[in-house]
Structure 1
C-alpha cells in the first residue's frame, strides 16, 4: 500500500514540476477554485512536456494534448523558439511510439530547425532534440555532431550527456560512452539517468547492475507511461539472460500499465514463444504489429512462423519488413542493420554484406560488427567473418555484452573453419547465456553442441 501511495505522490510532483518548467503562459498550472488548499491540477499535456524535455517516455494521449497546445502556441507566436523545440520533441516521441515515422520524424525535424532559426544562438533545447532525432533514425554521426553542438551551447546541461551516451554507443566508442555516462550521473540522478546507465552496464557485461538500475528507474518513475517503459526494458534484459518467466512478468506488467506500449507486446510474444506457448506468442506479435508495424517485429514473427514450418506466413512478414523499411527511410530512418540481418538469413547474403560493409564504415558499432560477420559467413567468407565476430565478442576492446546470438554466430563460424575446440566452448557459452535466443537458431545451436560433445580429456603425458 505504501508503494502505491508513494508512486502517486511521485506522479503528482512530476506533474507540478513539468508545469513550472515549461512556462510560457500556456502550460502553467493554476490553483483550482473552491476550498483553500485544494491540490492544483496539471494542465493537459504538462506532464508530457516535462517528460519529452527530459528524454523520458510519455503517454500517447498526453503527447496528443501537448502537440495540440504547442501547435496553437506557435501559430500565435511563430518566434517562440522554446515552444518549437518542445513541439519537435513531442513529434519525435509520437513517432517512436506509433507507426507514423515517415510523417512524424520530418515534422519533428522541421519544428526543431524552426526553433534554431528563431533562436540561432544558445538554443540547447533544439540541438538536444536534433541529437535525439538523429539517434532515433540510427544516424549516430549526426547524433554526435548535434550533441557536441548542444554541449557547446550549454556545457552543464545533463540531457545532452544522455544524447552523447547513445551516439558514442552507436558509433562503437564505448570508452567515450562510459565517460559521458560518468559526467551525466555527476550532473543528475533519476529514472532517465538510471535507464541510460543500465544500457551502458549491459554493454559492459554488468548484467546485475543493469537490471538493478532499471528496477530502480521503474520504481521511481514519475508517470505510468515511464514506469511501463522501464519495465519493458527490464523485460528485454531478463530475456537476454534466458529468464523467460521473469521477462514475461515484466512485459505483462508493462502492457497492463500502458496497453499502447507495442514494444512490450512484442517482448511478450518473444517470451511466450520461448516458453512454448506458441499460439499466445503469435497473438502478442500480431497485436504489436497492428499497433506499430516495426521491421524488427516483422522479422521476429517471420522467424517464429518459419520455425513452425509456416513458410507462406513467414514470407508475408518478410514482405512487410521490406515495405516498412522503405516507408521508414522516407522519414530518414537508417534500416540497413535490420535489412542486412534479414538478407543474411532469408534473402541475399552477398547483398547483406554490401549493405553492412557500408554501415560499418559509417558507424562501426558492436551490433553492426556481429551482423556483418554473420553475413560474411552466410556468403562463404569465413576467414573475414571470424574477424568481425571476434570484434563483436571481444571483452577487452568493447564487446563485453553477454549476447547469446553474438556468441552463437562466433561458434558457427569457428566450426566452419575447423576450430572445434573454440566452437564447442562458445556454443556452450551461448546456450548458458540464453538457450531460447532464437526459435530458428536456438535448436540448431543445441543440435551442434550435442554433435560436438564434451571437451576431450587432456592427453596423458608419457611416463
Structure 2
C-alpha cells in the first residue's frame, strides 16, 4: 500500500509551536515565534527542533544559568536541548553535557518531572532502555498526566522487548493527548506490530498537521522509511527528498536517499547521498550501509575504509555513554569476527531483549555455525506472539538462510521468497544471495506442499 499524503482538516495543536498564530489589530498575522522560542516549544514537547534554533536555545540558557544557577527549569531545558542536539548530529559529546545539566536540575528540585523526562530521553538516545524505563516511570510518579513522558516510556519498553506494556502505554497516551507527536509515536508502534497501513496513515496525518519544517521533515523521513521497507522506491525517494528540502539538516533522510538510489541503480547519486549524511551525522549504521554498497560495487578497499570508520565512531559513541553493540554485532557477524559478534550480542540480549537484538543474535549464531540455537532467535524475531510482527525483509532473509543451513528446504524457501516479496531491494549484498539460495533450493517438492484436502487428525 502506498503511503498516503492527505490533508487534515483544521490545525492540530502541539504545545506552543503548532498553535495558530493570532491576528494582529491591523488584520495581519502576528510575527512568528523567535527561533529560540520555537526550539523551546519543540524540546519541551519532545519533537524535532531545527539545529540553528537549538544552538540559539542552548546559548540563551547557558547565558541565563551563569547568573541564575538555581533555575531548575532552565537546567532541564538545557539538558533536553543537548539531548536533541546530540541525537540530530550524532555527536556523543553532547550527552555528558546533557546529563550534567539534568542532574543539576534535579539537585535544585528533586521531584522535577521535566528533568526526569530529560533523563529518560537521554537514556533512550544512548540506547540504555532499562534506565530510560526507570526514569520515565519516576516522571509519571510525579505527574501521571504529563503526556510528554509516555512517548519516552513507549520507546524504552519497545527497546526492552516489552511490546504489550508499550501498547498499554500508548493506549493511555491516546486518552491524554492527540496531535502530530502522538500520531508519530503511534505510527512507530503500529509499524513494529506489522500494521503498515495504520502506521502510514498516522504518519501522513502527523506530517500534514504540523507547520514546523524540522518536525514535518522528521515525519516525512519516517514515512519514507516505511515506503522503503515495503519496496515502494519512488514514494520513498519523494518523501526523503521533501524532508531534506524542508530541513537540510535531516541527515537520516539523506541516508534514506542513498539507500533508495542504490536500489534504483543510481549508484553515483547514492554514494554522494551517503557521504553527505555521514559528513554531518556520522552514525555507525550509515557507515555500515555505505561499506556494503561499496562491496556490492566491487570496491573492497573503499568498503574497508567505511568499516574502519564504523569502529572509530562506535568507540567515540561509547565514550559518550552510547550503546552501539547492536550495530557492532551486525558488522562483526557479516564482515569481522563472528565469535566476537556472538559475545557482544549475547550481552546485549541479556540487557535489553528487543526484536532487533533477537534477529542480530540469531544471525551471528548462524554465522558462527550454531544454527540450531540461531533458529530459536530467528523465530522469536519473526513471531507475532512475542512482538516480532514487523514485516522486515532482512529478518525474513536471516531466518530463511538459517533454515537453509539446517536443510529445512520448505521453510527456507518460504522465508526467502517472503523477504523478496516484502522488499525486492532490501540490501545490495543480500538480495543476490537470497536469489541464488532460492535457485539452489529449486521448486517445492510434493512434501513441501500441504495437502489442503486432507482431513485433520482427531486428538
2: distance between equivalents of 1:288 and 1:396? 36
Note if contact 1:18-1:46 (Cα within 8 Å) is conserved in structure 2: no
Tell me whether 38-47 or 68-77 shows the greater mean CA deviation: 38-47
Partner of 1:342: 331
Query: SS of 1:399's equivalent?
Result: coil
In 2, the alpha carbon distance for the partners of 1:128 and 1:438 equals 37
- In structure 1, the partner of 2:457 is none
What are the equivalent positions in structure 2 for 1:43-58 lying under 5 Å apart? 43-58=34-49
For 2:174 and 2:7, the matched residues in 1 are separated by 27
CA separation of 1:384/1:91 partners in 2, compared to 1, >3 Å: closer, same or farther?
same
Q: Is the 8 A contact 1:7 1:222 kept in 2?
A: no
User: Is 1:243 aligned to residue 232 of structure 2?
Assistant: yes
CA RMSD of aligned residues (A): 2.5
Partner of 1:104: 94
Q: CA offset at residue 39 of structure 1?
A: 1.3
Q: How does 1:177-192 map to 2 (within 5 A)?
A: 177-192=166-181
- Residue 51 of structure 2 is matched in structure 1 by 60
What is the CA–CA distance in structure 2 between the aligned matches of 1:456 and 1:127, rounded to whole Å?
59
1:210 aligns with 2:199: yes
Residue 166 in 1 paired to residue 155 in 2? yes
Partner Cα distance (2:178, 2:428) in 1: 39
Contact 2:7 2:208 in 1 (8 A): no
The reply on whether 1:371 has 2:360 as its aligned counterpart is: yes
Query: Which stretch shows the higher mean deviation, 348-357 or 394-403?
Result: 394-403
Deviation string 1:179-218 (CA, Å, 9 cap, x unpaired) is: 0111111100111111110111011110110111111111
- The within-5 A match list for 1:245-284 is 245-284=234-273
Q: 1:347 to 1:5 in 2, by over 3 A?
A: closer
* Aligned position for 1:94: 85
Residue matched to 2:294 = 305
Aligned length: 446
Distance 1:188-1:312 versus aligned 2 partners, 3 A rule: same
What are the Cα deviations for residues 222-259 of structure 1, in whole angstroms up to 9, with x where unaligned?
30000000000111111011111111111011111111
Query: Segments of 4+ in structure 1 off by > 3 A?
Result: 3-19, 34-38, 457-461
SS of corresponding position for 2:369 = coil
| CA distance 1:266–1:448, shift in 2 (3 Å) | same
Which residue pairs with 1:116 in the alignment? 106
CA contact 2:180–2:210 (8 Å) conserved in 1: yes
Structure 2: distance between partners of 1:83 and 1:405:
44
Matched, 1:131 2:120: yes
Q: 1:420-459, aligned counterparts within 5 Å? A: 420-457=409-446
For residues 33 and 363 of structure 2, the distance between their equivalents in structure 1, rounded to whole angstroms, comes to 51
Q: 1:377 and 1:80, CA in 2 relative to 1: closer, same or farther beyond 3 A?
A: same
Aligned twin of 2:314:
325
- Given that 1:67 and 1:90 are in contact with CA atoms closer than 8 Å, whether structure 2 keeps it comes out as yes
The 2-side partners of 1:420 and 1:266 are apart by 36
Is the 2:14–2:181 Cα contact (8 Å) retained in structure 1? Answer: no
**CA shift for structure 1 position 43:** 3.0
> In the TM superposition, what is the alpha-carbon distance from 1:14 to its structure 2 partner?
4.2
Deviations 1:37-83 (A, max 9, x none): 76144233101111111110010111111111111221121111111
Distance 1:431 1:35 in 2: 60
Q: Over residues 115-153 of structure 1, what are the superposed CA-to-partner deviations in whole Å (9 max), with x where a residue is unaligned? A: 1011112x1000011001100100000000000100101
Quote the Cα distance in structure 2 between the aligned partners of 1:292 and 1:41. Answer: 29
Matches within 5 A, 1:26-45: 39-45=30-36
Tell me by how many angstroms 1:99 deviates.
3.9
Per-residue CA shift, 1:405-426, capped at 9, x if unaligned?
0011000000100100100111
Residue aligning to 1:25: none
| C-alpha separation in 1, matches of 2:286 and 2:240 | 15
Give matches, 1:351-362, under 5 Å: 351-362=340-351
8 A Cα contact 1:53 1:89, kept in partner: yes
Which residue of 2 is the match for residue 144 of structure 1?
A: 133
Higher relative contact order (CA 8 A, sep 6+): 2
**Does structure 1 conserve the Cα–Cα contact (< 8 Å) formed by 2:17 and 2:42?**
no
SS at match of 1:172: coil
Query: Does the residue aligned with 2:384 lie in a helix, a strand or coil?
Result: coil
Q: Is the 8 A contact 2:8 2:209 kept in 1?
A: no
* Alignment partner, residue 379 of structure 2: 390
Kept after mapping to 2: 8 A contact 1:18/1:49:
no
Q: C-alpha deviations, 1:383-434, integer Å up to 9, x for none? A: 1000000010011221111100001100000010010010011111111101
Distance 2:320 2:195 in 1: 35
